[in-house]
Structure 1
Amino acid sequence: MNKLNIWEQFIQQSQLRWQEVLMSTFTHIQLVFFSMLLAIFIGISFGILITRVPSLTTVVLGGAGIMQTIPSLALLGFMIPIFGIGIKTAIAALFLYSLLPIIRNTYTGIKDVDKATTEAAKGMGMTSRQILFKVELPLAIPVMMAGIRTAAVINVGTATLAAFIGAGGLGDFIFLGITRGIDGLILLGAIPAALLAVILEIVLSSVERWSTPEGLR
């Protein structure tokens, strides 16, 4: 099948299914949003924890790394007995996949803060908590945001697999296109997912610039 026919199919399917595309896009955004919300909260917490308790570093980073090595469909399968078929399972699996870059970059960002800066903060009488929130985290934001951006963009693509467990999203069109042999349907899921990833990258880059201290921009 030539490219012209593929794009003709895409246009035809877009005209027929544009309402379904909007609904699936909204579902896709929900999957990414809630899984990333959990991953950011838990990932940053664990990243901070291992800077304070170095003995846990290998266990935490190793555990998050193992989650990344499990094939996506296998991880979704492992989650089904716990959460059942549907959105909860997809969010749980996407959350686990997003942890490693966030934990690792939070840890790296804080550890890379100049020791002279933290020593100066201690000399000013700051507590450990104040040093963390007023010195270390603000200086670590660029590195932390790089991890969040990486996790989010990967998450958008991985979320297409949620269709295989009945969680919806743009993967429905990809799965349907594969089973029916209609390339236009595959594009109907793939193109909006790619656009979502690009938009998310742009938004998070803007957030990074806004949240980074002026001296580090």
Structure 2
Amino acid sequence: MTVRGAALPVIVLTGAGALAAVFADFLHVAPNRLLSGPAASPHVWALAAVWLLAGALGTVRVPGRTFITAVLAWAGVVGLPLLAGMDARALLEGAATGTRIQLGTGFWVMWLAATLLLLDRLAAMSRPVRVLAWVGVPVALAGMAMAGTFDSLALLREYAAQHAPFAEALLTHVLLAAATLAIALPIGAPLGWWAWRTRRTDGALVGVLAFLQTVPSLALFALLIGPFAWLAGRWPALGALGFGGTGAAPAVFALVLYALLPVVRYTVAGLDATAADTREAARGLGMTRRQVLLRVQLPLGWPVLLAGLRIVAVQTVGLAAVAALIGAGGLGRFVFLGIGQGATDMVLLGTLTIIALALAVDLFFQSLLVLTERPA
């Protein structure tokens, strides 16, 4: 039996999971939503044993070790929330009304380690297996959520208390991101084509856009309040439409500024993906520049262009959280309100939803690439 270099991720991740099981808190029993409480880790040694077993199976020559380790990792991704929900329900029996069962550091470290381990093991498997595994995770978690398995956890109790404003914030966040993409693409793509066509990829345009990327998002949002308030005062019709120093207008404008640089750069990279000889051959066949662009360069550069759009979309979902500070709403409202109130569960509700939304956007664009790319 030997340990190979490819098993290093398994050793690191299972070791981190075992250490988290033993030394970190799985749950916290808090007296209310604002205060912390004592730790509760009822399955310390059982969880540590599972992690060590996964590590052993993933590092020695055992038939089907990759598949077995992947199964254990998938069970961890799904089973840890199930275990936390069951423990929370047991801990709440006979407890005071305001008691909250919060997820501890040990849970998050182990869940992240299980997710990364699953990602590592699935990389060596076929696409149908990967798709089945990743689709199975949200399906299983959604099924348990609908069955009420997680209702005793503080995070779900916070969601139940904030259901209506949470739904409104989620819709606003999605609309902010969608509006940003809808504006940035028609502006950035032609600018990228112009930069590629004139070979000014290191000129003033890209320099200005790169400079904007260095401005902290909070500072940029704050700097836009004055100009937009002046515009609303100068033209009252804009103010009547909701165009003012705070709200969605300056937020979307700032998000568009941040989105333009990656749109321009990936447009240039996508157009450059077609070799000069290929473009010349197309021109030799009698194609116009427009036909070369639409029939040759865009199809061949589609993977690069879509990768750029994917990065812009994920970046926008994350940056939109800061827009809550200037009254634009969105999921960032829960993050900043939770920080102000010292309510960890509210912070997690906003943060985890933003992460899940970003992952969903990323998965959407990856799926779109798989469905639209041409076979080699």
2: CA distance, partners of 1:48 / 1:153: 23
SS for the counterpart of 1:121 is: helix
For 1:201, the equivalent position in structure 2 comes to 362
2: CA distance, partners of 1:56 / 1:43: 13
2: CA distance, partners of 1:56 / 1:200: 28
1:118 aligns to 2:279 (yes or no): yes
Which consecutive residues of structure 1, in runs of 5 or more, have no partner in the other structure? Answer: none
For 2:182, the equivalent position in structure 1 comes to 37
Per-residue Cα deviation, 1:92-148 (whole angstroms, up to 9, x for no partner): 111111111111011012123111111110011111111111111111111111111
For 2:210, the equivalent position in structure 1 comes to 65
1:145 aligns to 2:306 (yes or no): yes
For 1:10, the equivalent position in structure 2 comes to 155
Which consecutive residues of structure 2, in runs of 5 or more, have no partner in the other structure? Answer: 1-35, 41-100, 104-152, 229-244
For 1:90, the equivalent position in structure 2 comes to 251
Amino acid at match of 1:25: L
* Pick aligned residue for 2:191 from 37, 43, 46: 46
Question: Identity across aligned pairs (percent)?
Answer: 36
1:21 aligns to 2:152 (yes or no): no
Measure how far apart 1:9 and its partner are. 3.3
2: CA distance, partners of 1:37 / 1:89: 15
Q: CA RMSD in A?
A: 1.6
2: CA distance, partners of 1:173 / 1:191: 11
Q: Are the aligned partners of 1:177 and 1:183 in contact in 2 as well (CA < 8 Å)?
A: yes
1:103-182 residue pairs with structure 2 within 5 A?
103-182=264-343
Highest CA radius of gyration, 1 or 2? Answer: 2
Aligned length: 215
2: CA distance, partners of 1:115 / 1:56: 17
Per-residue Cα deviation, 1:134-168 (whole angstroms, up to 9, x for no partner): 11111111111111111111111111111100100
2: CA distance, partners of 1:144 / 1:56: 16
Measure how far apart 1:27 and its partner are. 0.2
For 2:75, the equivalent position in structure 1 comes to none
Measure how far apart 1:196 and its partner are. 0.6
SS for the counterpart of 1:168 is: coil
Per-residue Cα deviation, 1:8-51 (whole angstroms, up to 9, x for no partner): 43222111111211111000000000001111221111111111
For 2:31, the equivalent position in structure 1 comes to none
2: CA distance, partners of 1:130 / 1:57: 27
Q: Are the aligned partners of 2:273 and 2:300 in contact in 1 as well (CA < 8 Å)?
A: no
Measure how far apart 1:213 and its partner are. 3.2
More helix by share: 1
Give the TM-score of the pair, scaled to structure 1. Answer: 0.93
Give the TM-score of the pair, scaled to structure 2. Answer: 0.55
Q: Are the aligned partners of 1:173 and 1:186 in contact in 2 as well (CA < 8 Å)?
A: yes
SS for the counterpart of 2:203 is: helix
For 2:77, the equivalent position in structure 1 comes to none
2: CA distance, partners of 1:18 / 1:55: 50
Amino acid at match of 2:281: A
SS for the counterpart of 2:286 is: coil
Q: Are the aligned partners of 1:160 and 1:172 in contact in 2 as well (CA < 8 Å)?
A: yes
Higher relative contact order (CA 8 A, sep 6+): 1
